[in-house]
Structure 1
Amino acid sequence: SDVLRLKQADVFDDYGAIKQHAFIKDKKTGKRNTLYLKPVMMDLVMYQQWLKRNGYEGTTEWLFPSTTRPQKHIDERQFYNVMAKVGDLLDINYLGTHTMRKTGAYRVYVQSNYNIGLVMKLLNHSSEAMTLAYLGLDQVSREHMLDKIDFG
């Protein structure tokens, strides 16, 4: 929901170039969070082109404008509907509004060699325990992982 409230000026500079960072305030906790945009730069370039082609550039301040009311951003319900349609097209029945955040966090966790501190900071969580629980890494999951390690 926090990303849905981004404005084009939060992501693109006055010349249309993509900024290195965007800043959001977590609606749930009130904490500020910095979004590092370099990993999604090409996606943002393609999205910016889509905004231009579909007449949204210069007509709305929102990065994710409502298609019916471009003076407003899409809301969580609209985003859920979009994700549900994508899930139907891909034959994935669990694709929802939170899936991308959770999947992204888990991928960072694995690809960063299980750096829970990094994931905790990215998610703006206040503890590693909260992040582990969020990722679904409870005691049983940890024990299954440990069973596969050769302490030899």
Structure 2
Amino acid sequence: MGQKMINVKPIKDKELLNQFGKELKKGKHGKRDYLVMAIGIKTGLRISDILNLKVSDVKNKIQTEIVEIKTGKKRTLHLKSLTSNIIDYLNTEHSAESEWLFPSPTDSSRQLASHQYYKILQKVADNLGLDYIGTHTLRKTFSYFFLKQNKGDIVTLMKILNHSSQAVTLRYAGIEEEDIKAKLEDFDPFK
């Protein structure tokens, strides 16, 4: 039996996002699982790019350059806000013999697979009663909060995500009819 089809969405509630992170930390590889999430939510990288990171990409660095797998484009990652999590993970949980930042638990010469991380996310999502979580939730959550914190700067977000359409980026970030309705209900240019 295959994976169930879900409509993957961002986590829009900060409290729920923090709760999700705390639940990830409780697992057998909690620091690893949380760091994968943190990188996704703080950089907007696709899961394939996160799991393709090597220790040399991030160790002792506050920024690094990667080439995105899907687009083939260079991307600079700003790691300053992740530094303490990276150091803690590398010093306590990472398998020192692996070049991969997130090695497979069964073969340290290979990286953790996206389907393995999907299962980890699904376990937490099930525990929290969430039916819209997938690996792309990380990138979509980044997009949602980026727009909120940067006053709707869709042009910059489009560049970060390598999207060619504002409509795609808005949909991607989970800016839906409910958000539009909420903004229009209180909208009055005469106030």
Deviates more, 1:100-109 or 1:89-98: 89-98
Deviation of residue 62 (structure 1)? 0.1
Deviates more, 1:141-150 or 1:3-12: 141-150
Aligned twin of 2:56? 9
If you compute each CA radius of gyration, which structure gives the higher value, 1 or 2? 1
Look up the equivalent residue of 2:51 and give its one-letter code: L
Residue 102 of structure 1 pairs with residue 102 of structure 2: no
How well do the aligned residues superpose, as a CA RMSD in angstroms?
2.1
Counterpart CA distance in 1 for 2:119 and 2:174 is 25
Aligned 8 A contact 2:57 2:64 in 1: yes
Cα 1:93/1:114, change in 2 over 3 Å: same
Deviation of residue 140 (structure 1)? 7.5
Aligned 8 A contact 1:108 1:119 in 2: yes
Counterpart CA distance in 2 for 1:136 and 1:24 is 26
Look up the equivalent residue of 2:125 and give its one-letter code: G
Aligned twin of 1:39? 81
2:124 to 86, 90, 99: 86
Cα 1:125/1:60, change in 2 over 3 Å: same
Secondary structure of the 2:93 match is helix
Aligned twin of 2:69? 27
Counterpart CA distance in 1 for 2:83 and 2:179 is 34
Cα 1:92/1:141, change in 2 over 3 Å: closer
Q: Determine which structure has greater relative contact order: mean sequence separation of CA pairs < 8 Å that are 6+ residues apart, divided by chain length.
A: 2
Counterpart CA distance in 2 for 1:21 and 1:121 is 18
Aligned-residue sequence identity (percent) comes to 39
Deviation of residue 5 (structure 1)? 0.3
Aligned 8 A contact 1:33 1:124 in 2: no
Deviation of residue 66 (structure 1)? 0.2
1:55-94 matches, within 5 Å, as 56-57=95-96, 59-94=97-132
Question: Which runs of 5 or more residues in structure 1 are unaligned?
Answer: none
Look up the equivalent residue of 1:107 and give its one-letter code: F
- TM superposition outliers: structure 1 runs of 4+ over 4 Å: 138-141
Question: Which runs of 5 or more residues in structure 2 are unaligned?
Answer: 1-47
Q: Which has the higher helix share?
A: 2
